[in-house]
């Protein structure tokens, strides 16, 4: 099967260059993994750095002044990102999400957005190009991102109360700036906007209703995310997870809700609208802990330095940068991606209770700030 293997060692997460199959089968736009899941969604992390220190993602005692982030030379260049992304599009990817770390910290991100926006999508349709951000510098960037071709944004926001928000981001960052960022994104036409709140029981769950009250009546999808056991540094405990069912129960006590159908196959959120006629806004829940949704998971993740991860809970990546910088052709890289996806069998959330915390000996699970959400 194999003709060319480029071995690469990495100091952070285990990854080897994927095999290039001897027979280079061209992408057909319809690639299925071993559980018959198509490849549709690519999340690209553009930096591992962040100006926040959310305790569930980059706890300050781990990600402190001594923490070594990736050197600039390790990062995929914009040209490399676009080259790899175009091969994923050829394999059937229709949605690209830029993430991080904090993606807006990557210099000239608008240039990357413009380059990705120019990629032709499948069947002549435009790619769904989106970005997840903590919103801290969105007010400044929204118009330029829109002009560059970004379709929409998702903003992470864990509280509307300033004191709780400052505690959650652990960078003393005021909530008002993020709220102004969301307004600016709305004005720029980066909608429909999603706002994601990670709920930690006992830390910010009292903000569920204030968040619902704040965004009710606006064209914003407010989504509550169960706190996940991703990575190895956040000290995750099940008793800090507030099940989505309880989130919906709490909101429904104040506002009647009516269920909405899934917006797309592989959609991770369950959705509701406000039952009161004429009231804009949507509530969603993402129950990665209490209700696994691996069976239609169509997402691949490309890390900041070009490793392909097939699951948020993986401990092993596939080093595409080694192929890109090792002189492989587009046809070879596309075939290698095809083979990796065809062999994919990941379904961590479905197996979670059976395998919790189990990364193979000598490996550690990838961190969220590195791989993106």
The residues of the shown chain that bind ligand SAM, judged by CB under 6 A, are 50, 56-57, 99-100, 102, 132-134, 156, 196, 198, 225, 227-228, 230, 234, 368-369, 372-373
**For residues 227 and 348, which CB has a smaller minimum distance to ligand SF4 in the complex?**
348
**For residues 119 and 311, which CB has a smaller minimum distance to ligand SF4 in the complex?**
311
174 Cβ contact partners less than 8 Å away, ≥ 6 residues apart:
162, 165, 166
The reply to whether 370 sits near ligand SF4 by the rule CB under 6 A is: no
The reply to whether 313 sits near ligand SF4 by the rule CB under 6 A is: yes
Q: In the set 57, 119, 185, 366, which binds ligand SF4 (CB under 6 A)?
A: 57
- In which element (H, E) is residue 96 found? strand 95-99
Cα distance between residue 235 and residue 229, in whole Å: 8
Q: Which residue has the tokens 């003709």?
A: 3
Cα distance between residue 275 and residue 256, in whole Å: 5
**For residues 256 and 355, which CB has a smaller minimum distance to ligand SF4 in the complex?**
355
Phi, psi of 199 (to 5 degrees): -105, 120
Site string for ligand SF4, 275-304 (x = CB under 6 A): ------------------xx--x-x-----
Cα distance between residue 66 and residue 325, in whole Å: 29
Q: Is the peptide bond before 178 cis (omega within 30 degrees of 0)?
A: no
Cα distance between residue 131 and residue 140, in whole Å: 15
**Interactions with ligand SF4, residue window 16-45 (CB under 6 A):** none
**Interactions with ligand SF4, residue window 142-181 (CB under 6 A):** 156
The minimum distance between CB 367 and ligand SAM, in angstroms, equals 9
Report the partner that residue 234 touches, choosing among ligand SAM, ligand SF4, none (CB closer than 5 to 8 A by kind). Answer: ligand SAM
Cα distance between residue 86 and residue 77, in whole Å: 14
Q: In the set 119, 348, 370, 371, which binds ligand SF4 (CB under 6 A)?
A: 348
**Contact predicate 71/297, CB 8 Å:** no
**For residues 102 and 346, which CB has a smaller minimum distance to ligand SAM in the complex?**
102
The reply to whether 230 sits near ligand SF4 by the rule CB under 6 A is: no
Of the listed pieces 98-106, 206-214, 234-242, 333-341, which binds ligand SF4 according to CB under 6 A? 98-106
Report the partner that residue 130 touches, choosing among ligand SAM, ligand SF4, none (CB closer than 5 to 8 A by kind). Answer: none
For the chain, the farthest-separated pair of C-alpha atoms sits apart, in whole angstroms, at: 63
Q: Using the Cα atoms of residue 145, residue 146, residue 151 and residue 157 in order, give the sign of their dihedral.
A: positive
Task: Single out the residue of 351, 156, 312, 300 nearest to residue 232, CA to CA.
Answer: 312
Report the partner that residue 294 touches, choosing among ligand SF4, ligand SAM, none (CB closer than 5 to 8 A by kind). Answer: ligand SF4
Neighbours of 208 (CB within 10 A): 21
Q: In the set 101, 306, 317, 338, which binds ligand SF4 (CB under 6 A)?
A: 101
Task: Single out the residue of 75, 72, 68, 98 nearest to residue 85, CA to CA.
Answer: 98
User: Which residues make up the interface to ligand SF4 (CB under 6 A)?
Assistant: 50, 52-54, 57-58, 100-102, 134, 156, 293-294, 297, 299, 311-313, 346-349, 368-369
């Amino acid at each position: 099967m194999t003709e060319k293997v480029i071995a690469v060692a990495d100091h952070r997460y285990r990854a080897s260059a994927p095999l290039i199959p001897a027979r280079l089968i061209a992408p057909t736009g319809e690639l299925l993994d071993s559980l018959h899941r198509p490849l549709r969604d690519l999340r690209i992390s553009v930096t591992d750095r962040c100006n926040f220190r959310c305790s569930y993602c980059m706890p300050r005692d781990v990600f402190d002044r001594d923490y070594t982030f990736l050197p600039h030379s390790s990062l995929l260049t914009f040209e490399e990102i676009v080259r790899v992304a175009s091969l994923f599009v050829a394999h059937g990817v229709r949605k690209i999400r830029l993430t991080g770390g904090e993606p807006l910290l990557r210099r000239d991100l608008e240039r990357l957005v413009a380059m990705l926006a120019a990629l032709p999508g499948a069947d002549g349709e435009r790619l769904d190009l989106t970005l997840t951000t903590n919103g801290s510098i969105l007010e400044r960037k929204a118009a330029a991102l829109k002009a560059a071709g970004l379709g929409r944004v998702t903003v992470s926001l864990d509280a509307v109360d300033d004191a709780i928000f400052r505690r959650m981001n652990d960078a003393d960052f005021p909530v008002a700036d993020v709220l102004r960022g969301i307004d600016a994104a709305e004005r720029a036409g980066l909608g429909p906007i999603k706002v994601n709140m990670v709920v930690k029981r006992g830390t910010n769950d009292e903000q569920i209703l204030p968040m619902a009250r704040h965004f009710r009546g606006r064209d914003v999808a407010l989504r509550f995310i169960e706190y996940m056991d991703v990575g190895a540094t956040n000290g995750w405990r099940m008793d800090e997870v507030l099940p989505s069912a309880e989130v919906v129960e709490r909101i429904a006590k104040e506002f009647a809700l009516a269920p909405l159908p899934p917006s797309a196959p592989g959609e991770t959120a369950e959705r509701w609208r406000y039952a009161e006629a004429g009231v804009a806004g949507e509530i969603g829940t993402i129950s990665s802990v209490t209700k696994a949704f691996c069976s239609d998971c169509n997402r691949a993740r490309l890390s900041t330095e070009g490793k392909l991860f097939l699951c948020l809970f993986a401990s092993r990546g596939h080093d595409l940068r080694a192929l890109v910088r090792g002189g492989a052709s587009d046809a070879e890289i596309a075939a290698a991606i095809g083979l990796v996806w065809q062999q994919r069998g990941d379904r961590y959330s479905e197996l979670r209770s059976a395998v919790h915390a189990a990364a193979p000996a000598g490996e550690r699970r990838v961190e969220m700030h590195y791989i993106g959400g």
